[in-house]
Amino acid sequence: MSSHDDSTQLRWLGILSVLEATTLVLLVAVAVPLKHIAGWTIAVHVMGPVHGLAFLAYCWAAIQSIAEGGWSRLEAARLLATAFIPFAGFANVRLIARKSAALRTGVVQ
């Protein structure tokens, strides 16, 4: 795969990491409390599938990126584990940016 393809894949991984983290926070911090406090079950019925799609897209992109190589086991575990922790996906943006910068400069980390 060319470095352009790799940088595009990393860009998508970063976007999907933020999307997945955002939908998880909205589900856990907004939709679930609305369901239990206000009785608005529709919030979970809408946000649940939206987050599910974002989660699957992020996991697919992370697995593809890991399969391409260049990730340590710790980094790979981090990419996958952060999908389950609210706000953690936002921290991946820096990791992905470092990987992208290393790819552009030709320095393998």
The string of pLDDT tens digits covering residues 36-84 is: 999 999 999 999 999 999 999 999 999 999 999 889 999 999 999 999 9
Q: Confirm if 58 and 19 have CB atoms less than 8 A apart.
A: yes
Sequence ranges of the domains in the chain? 3-105
How high is the pLDDT of residue 1? 46
> Measured between alpha carbons, how far is residue 55 from residues 37, 83, 85, 98, 102 in Å?
26, 7, 12, 23, 26
Q: Give me the mean pLDDT over the 6-22 stretch.
A: 94
How high is the pLDDT of residue 41? 96
